[in-house]
Amino acid sequence: MSALSRVRRRRAISLVIVALVACGSLLACNRNPAGPNGGPLATGRWTGDGVCLSVADTGCNLAVGCNHGQFPRPTIRADGTFDVDGTYRIEAGPISIEPAPPAHFSGVVTGSRLTLTVMPSGSLPPASYSMTPTTAGACPIPCV
């Protein structure tokens, strides 16, 4: 192999390495592997172990047994987290509190899992729920 061929080969290898590094850098900047790029929470229904969250363009409905929460559709930050205020109450039989008491909802989306934390005002304790996306549609509220 001549000296000129070796120089051309080294340059070609160097160009391939530079191209691979550049492509890898562009891909790494385009997507955060720990969470979504940001934007609204995906519409549809999320469920898990007795909890159901229905997400629509107009807002979210959370059903956990006789507990019912409502909040605006949140915007997910680049790190997968969100915070939003809404309402949360127990709806058992003819007993209902009007208007519904305020609550704070926070969450994190990691891959296809949503972990939602509810901080109700008043005497109800905070609670966290883990869900995965399922089919579209509304969540049943069994205790109304």
| Domain parsing of the chain, residue ranges | 1-30, 39-133
Encode pLDDT of 63-114 as tens digits.
998 888 999 999 999 999 999 999 998 876 665 667 789 999 999 999 999 9
* Contact present, 116 and 62 (Cβ < 8 Å): yes
* Contact present, 60 and 138 (Cβ < 8 Å): no
Q: What angle do CA 93, 136, 97 make, to 5 degrees?
A: 25
Q: What's residue 55's pLDDT?
A: 94
pTM: 0.70
Between 128 and 144, the more confident residue is: 128
* Contact present, 61 and 139 (Cβ < 8 Å): yes
Q: What's residue 57's pLDDT?
A: 94
Please report how many Cα atoms fall inside a 13 Å half-sphere around the Cα of residue 8, on the Cβ side. Answer: 5
